[in-house]
Every structure is written in structure tokens, then in C-alpha cells.
Amino acid sequence: MSPARSWRSPRPSRAGVTEAGRGRRLLIHTDGAARGNPGPSGLGAILRDAQTGETVAELATYLGVRTNNYAEWTAVEAALGKALELGATRVDLRMDSQLVARQITGMYRVKHADLKPIHARVMAMLSRFEGYTVGHVPRELNKDADRLSNVAIDQPRS
């Protein structure tokens, strides 16, 4: 099994934002699921303290009838929003969608009109962190986020 492929933000840390050793770094696993493409979809994300491994938040949200790519992108957006809410200064994003990971790093362009606004919001959120990494991981290493995305689809709705 190969390790996660990672990419680091090219911009240096902003001087004066935090002192060395301060701030919170989160390891974030995200996943989006759709049963059918499009079909009933959900997002899942698990946010852990990168130092202790402690789970600090779990997200599972039903998205309605959407495509898998929409669910994947929305999972990243929701997780980054939660990370900012929790005061994270650095994030390490991991996902089993190689396409989304490569679109975030700029290796691939986002072409679909429905995804471009989400991409823009994600990139704006990432710019608010002192630093970030993005990595593609095999599905076996993303089981928690996958479980949460399926919980979101399966949860009863009124």
C-alpha cells in the first residue's frame, strides 16, 4: 500500500500570525457519496487533532440528489468551514477522490459549472490557513469519512 500523496501550499506562513508551537493543526478526512450519479448523496468528514489523534468533529450531511463529484467537493468545503470554526491554523486534507485532490492542487482544472463556485470557496478557505496539505489516500484509509457519508444518505429525513 502506498502512502498518501501530498501537496503543500506554496505560500510561506504569514509572519506574526501565530508564534511557533501555537495554533491547532487538524487532520481531515473527507468523502462524498452518491447512490447513482446523480442520486441520493451525502458528505462525510472526520476532523482529528493532528498531534493527539483525538476526534474533534464528525460531519454527516444529506445533500439531496447530486453527483458524486458535487458530494466530494461539498465534503471538503464543509470540513474546512468546521476547521475554521474550531480555530485551526493548519490543515492536512486527505480524501480518496484523486480527481478532487488534483483539482485542489491545480494539477487538473475544474470544468463543471456547478463545481466552479465550490472550488472557488474552498480555495478561499484554504487561503485563510497558515498552511495546508492535500493528499489522496486509498479507500481503505478513508473508511471513517466514507461511513459518515453513507450515514448521511441513510438518516431519516422529515
Segment 35-86, tens digit of pLDDT: 999 999 999 999 999 999 999 999 999 999 999 999 999 999 999 999 999 9
CA atoms within a 13 Å half-sphere pointing along the CA-CB vector of 146: 10
Domain ranges in the chain are 24-153
% of the chain beyond a pLDDT of 70:
85
pLDDT at res. 2: 38
pLDDT tens-digit map of 134-147: 999 999 999 999 99
Evaluate whether 135 touches 43 at the Cβ level (below 8 Å): no
| pLDDT at 3 > cutoff 80 | no
Greater confidence (95 vs 7) lies with 95
Is residue 7 over pLDDT 80?
no
CATH 3.30.70.240 fits 24-153, yes or no: no
